[in-house]
C-alpha cells in the first residue's frame, strides 16, 4: 500500500531532523501501532525485517522507542509529545554545537575602514524576516519602517517593534494602504504610525517587481525587500538588498522619502 501524504511527510521530516530512512519509517510505523514486533513493524514500514532490529535499536538509543524483552521482543514508540520534545532538544543541541564550531573556526578580521560601506543581497522570505527582526532588535536610537506587503504583519514583527519602543527607541512605522496603517495603529498604540505616500512602490502593472518592505535603522543601515506579485510562491521569491555604513546625505534623502508626508524636527536639523 502506498503511504499517505502525512506518513510520507512525517518520514521526510524525521530524516531532516537526523534519523536515517529506515529509522524514520520504523518510528512512523510504531506510531500506527499500540506496540509491535519486528515482523509487524516490517509489514507496515516495508523496511527489510533484518534491518528493523538495527533501526529500533538506534531509535531506542535516541529515547524514541521502548522495548519489552519478551519472545519475540515487542516495541512501542514513546508518546508523541515526548518524542517531539526529545527531537527538538537534539536539534537545538546540534545548532548550539554548530554555533560553537563556527565561532572556533577563527574568522579572519577585516579592516573596519574597508567595511564601512557594504551592500549585500538576501534571498528568501525567512532569511529576510530574520534579518529584519535582527535589525529591529539591534537598533540604538531610531527605526523607520514602511510595510508595503500586508503579509509582513506578524505577531513577531509587532512584538519586536513594541520591545524596541519599550527601550525608548524612536520608531516611525508606515503603511501604504489604509488597512495596513489601521492594523499597525491598532497593534502598536504607543508607536508613531503614519500612512506613507509610497503606493507607487506596489508596481504599475502585474508584471512589475514590487517593493515589500523598507527599513532604515539608526540612519545608517537600510533593508529593501522586493518580489514579483505573480510569482508561484511570493515568500520564496522575495529578495532584499541590505546596506550598511550609508553616507549621511543618502540617509537623509531615504529617510525623507520613506516618511513622505511626515515632517519631523530631526529632518529639519539634518
pLDDT, tens only, 136-189: 999 999 999 988 888 889 999 999 999 999 999 999 898 888 888 899 999 999
pLDDT at 159: 93
- The domain ranges of the chain are 5-103, 118-269
CATH of 5-103 given 1.10.240.10, 3.30.9.10, 1.10.10.10, 1.20.1440.230 = 1.10.10.10
Strands 239-244 and 118-123 turn out to be: antiparallel
pLDDT at 253: 67
Rounded to an integer, the average pLDDT of 99-108 is 75
State percent of the chain over pLDDT 70.
77
Higher per-residue confidence, 2 vs 254: 254
Q: Are 158 and 187 spatial neighbours (Cβ–Cβ below 8 Å)?
A: yes
pLDDT at 259: 59
Q: Per the omega criterion (within 30 degrees of 0), is the bond before 72 cis? A: yes
State percent of the chain over pLDDT 90.
40
Strands 118-123 and 221-227 turn out to be: unpaired
Q: How far is CA 175 from the centre of its chain?
A: 22
- Residue 264, pLDDT above cutoff 70: no
Q: Are 143 and 116 spatial neighbours (Cβ–Cβ below 8 Å)?
A: no
pLDDT at 263: 42
- What superfamily does domain 118-269 belong to in CATH? Endonuclease Chain A (3.30.870.10)
**Identical topology for domains 5-103 and 118-269:** no
Alpha helix ranges (H) inside 67-144:
80-103, 125-138
Q: Which of 186, 190, 181, 189 is nearest to 145 (CA)?
A: 181
Higher per-residue confidence, 117 vs 237: 237
pTM of the model: 0.61
Amino acid at each position: 500500500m502506498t503511504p499517505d501524504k502525512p506518513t510520507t511527510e512525517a518520514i521526510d521530516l524525521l530524516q531532516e531532523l537526523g534519523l536515517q530512512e529506515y529509522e524514520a519509517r520504523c518510528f512512523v510505523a510504531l506510531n500506527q501501532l499500540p506496540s509491535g514486533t519486528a515482523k509487524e513493524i516490517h509489514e507496515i514500514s516495508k523496511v527489510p525485517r533484518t534491518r528493523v532490529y538495527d533501526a529500533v535499536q538506534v531509535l531506542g538509543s535516541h529515547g524514541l522507542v521502548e522495548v519489552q524483552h519478551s519472545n519475540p521482543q515487542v516495541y512501542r514508540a514513546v508518546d508523541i509529545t515526548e518524542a517531539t520534545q526529545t527531537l527538538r532538544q537534539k536539534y537545538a543541541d546540534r545548532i548550539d554545537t554548530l554555533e560553537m564550531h563556527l565561532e572556533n573556526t577563527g574568522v579572519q578580521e577585516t579592516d573596519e575602514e574597508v567595511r564601512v560601506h557594504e551592500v549585500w543581497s538576501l534571498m528568501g522570505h525567512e532569511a529576510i524576516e530574520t534579518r529584519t527582526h535582527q535589525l529591529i532588535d539591534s537598533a540604538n536610537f531610531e527605526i523607520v519602517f514602511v510595510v508595503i506587503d500586508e503579509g509582513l504583519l506578524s505577531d513577531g514583527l509587532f512584538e519586536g517593534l513594541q520591545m524596541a519602543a519599550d527601550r525608548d527607541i524612536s520608531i516611525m512605522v508606515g503603511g501604504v494602504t489604509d488597512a495596513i496603517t489601521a492594523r499597525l495603529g491598532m497593534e502598536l498604540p504607543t508607536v508613531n504610525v503614519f500612512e506613507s505616500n509610497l503606493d507607487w512602490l506596489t508596481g504599475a502593472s502585474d508584471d512589475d517587481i514590487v517593493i515589500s518592505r523598507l527599513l532604515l535603522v539608526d540612519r545608517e543601515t537600510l533593508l529593501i525587500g522586493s518580489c514579483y506579485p505573480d510569482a508561484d510562491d511570493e515568500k520564496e521569491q522575495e529578495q532584499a538588498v541590505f546596506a550598511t555604513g550609508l553616507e549621511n546625505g543618502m540617509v537623509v534623502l531615504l529617510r525623507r522619502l520613506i516618511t513622505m508626508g511626515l515632517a519631523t524636527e530631526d529632518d529639519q536639523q539634518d
